[in-house]
Amino acid sequence: MSVSPSAEVRAEAESRLAALATPPRALGRLGELGVRMATLQGVVPPRPLADPRLVIFAGDHGVAAHGVSAYPPAITGAMVRTFLAGRAGVSALARAHDVAVRVLDIGVDDDFADLDDEVRAALQAHKVRRSCAPSHLEDALTLDELEQSLAAGRAVAREEIAAGADLLISGDMGIGNTTPAAALVAVLCGLPVETVVGRGTGVDEAGLAHKQSVIETAIARLGDRADSPRDVLAALGSADLAATVGFVQEAAAHRVPVLLDGVISTACALAAEHLSPGCAPWFLAGHLSPEPAHLPALKSLGLEPLLDLGMRLGEGSGAVAAVPLVRSAIALLREVALLSDLLPPDA
Ligand SMILES: Cc1cc2ncn([C@H]3O[C@H](COP(=O)(O)O)[C@@H](O)[C@H]3O)c2cc1C
Ligand SMILES: O=C(O)c1cccnc1
């Protein structure tokens, strides 16, 4: 259960923004973001970000063996090793912006036997299974696996919060994962598949048409279970996506703001809101991905993305790129003088 952010703190933060030594609304959306952070933290002015943390939930997808991605599934495990080496796209951004990175193998089709025992144990501490079933042929997960995945994500959020996280970011790694993301958005927003299916890593025209038909078949298999968010997530999702759902759900329940990334992260946030309504006020949108499912998912959550840079990487990269904006917004609300302090009382 998520508690709503305080309306009183929001009003207080809005008053402070209006009283700053700037013309009205001159800080635009940065001003609004500062108000949002104050509201979510429950304090005016907001505290500087002390410990933003990214968790990358990695997993493979049965559909990836069926022509929905421009890349082979073996890339998932290879990229997990790249995160561990600090050499992925998001690794560079996270170093630049002081964001801690943790990568977890929730459902990668790899046993990582080559890794050092300690590294491997940490990586697989919350592993649910290897890959998942192709959702156009059978449910991706059993309901037991779904519960295990949700619980894994919730446990990870609690671990990160107990360790001091004051902003949580979820990252994704899993070849084929734009397929379940689009499927979830289509069902949860009630949109035709052709309006939400995208090229992901860059499938060609024929690949796109095939991806659409895979998603349509998977949704047709759902039948009358489309009204149950748990069934939707088990049938169309995956262990790594369900863990992400649990992660953002638990962050909201603990009143820790979540900065969302691209289409995968946002599809999971949408599923979290359907599973436990009231999470969405704790979410912020880092950026807008060109994947067509992203915008409707953000709109359905009532979120406006901070950045629109054409990024379509995933990994949490678009959210991490937006962290400096969050820091800027907080600094403005904390450090700018009040107009009333500038002038003598009788001016
Ligand atoms: C080298 C490489 C690094 C990535 N980092 C994130 N993704 C992203 O792209 C994939 C989703 O796109 P699709 O559904 O088309 O497979 C996921 O692995 C996602 O994390 C990557 C993909 C590749 C190839
Ligand atoms: O929107 C995203 O995050 C995204 C888009 C394409 C591929 N991987 C991730």
**Would you list the DSSP string of 83-115?**
HHTT-SHHHHHHHHTT-EEEEEEEE-S---TTS
| Best CA proximity match to 183, nearest among 128, 133, 222, 141 | 222
Q: Which fold has domain 52-323?
A: Rossmann fold (3.40.50)
- Summarised one tens digit per residue, pLDDT across range 131-146 is 999 999 999 999 999 9
Give domain limits for the chain: 7-47+332-342, 52-323
Residue 206's pLDDT is 98
pTM of the model: 0.98
Q: What is the mean pLDDT of residues 186-202?
A: 98
| Closest-lying ligand 2 atom to the alpha carbon of residue 199 | 6
Residue to mutate (ligand 2; options 76, 173, 178; most atoms within 8 A of CB) = 178
What's the pLDDT score for residue 344? 74
Give the per-residue pLDDT at 347: 62
Indicate whether 129 pLDDT > 70.
Answer: yes
Active site residues: 315
Q: What is the pLDDT of residues 65-92, one digit of tens each?
A: 999 999 999 999 999 999 999 999 999 9
Could you give the percent of the chain with pLDDT greater than 70? Answer: 99
Average pLDDT value for the chain? 98
Q: Mean pLDDT throughout 182-208?
A: 98
Q: In what order do the strands lie in the sheet with 258-260?
A: 100-107, 52-59, 167-173, 258-260, 283-285
Identify the pLDDT of residue 273.
98
DSSP 315: T
- The tokens for 83 are 């995160």
Using CB distances shorter than 6 Å, the residues near ligand 1 are 69-71, 75, 79, 172-179, 200-201, 313-315
Mean pLDDT, rounded, for 186-193: 98
**What burial class does residue 142 get, using C-beta atoms within 10 Å of its C-beta: 0-12 exposed, 13-18 middle, 19+ buried?**
middle
From the alpha carbon of 76, which atom of ligand 1 is closest? 18
Per-residue pLDDT band at 99 (split at 50, 70, 90): very high
Q: Is the pLDDT of residue 26 over 80?
A: yes
Bridge partners of residue 105, in order along the sequence: 58
Assign 2 a pLDDT band (cuts: 50, 70, 90). Answer: confident
What CATH number has the domain spanning 7-47+332-342?
1.10.1610.10
Query: Tokens at residue 291, please?
Result: 């994947």
Q: Over the stretch 217-239, which tens digit does the pLDDT of each residue have?
A: 999 999 999 999 999 999 999 99
pLDDT for 345 equals: 73
Name which residue sits closest to atom 9 of ligand 2, judged by CA.
314
ipTM: 0.99
* Closest ligand 1 atom number to CA of residue 171: 20
Reported as a pLDDT band with limits 50, 70 and 90, residue 163 is: very high
From the CA of 290, how far away is ligand 1's center (Å)?
14
pLDDT digits (tens, 9 = 90+) for 248-302: 999 999 999 999 999 999 999 999 999 999 999 999 999 999 999 999 999 999 9
Q: How far, in Å, CA of 96 to CA of 83, rounded? A: 15
Query: Which of the four pLDDT bands, split at 50, 70 and 90, describes residue 109?
Result: very high
89 CB near ligand 2 (under 6 Å) = no
- Give the rounded percent of residues in the chain with a pLDDT score beyond 90: 98
Give, using CA atoms, the residue closest to atom 7 of ligand 2.
Answer: 200
Nearest Cα residue to 238 out of 183, 163, 280:
183
d(CA 165, CA 80): 22
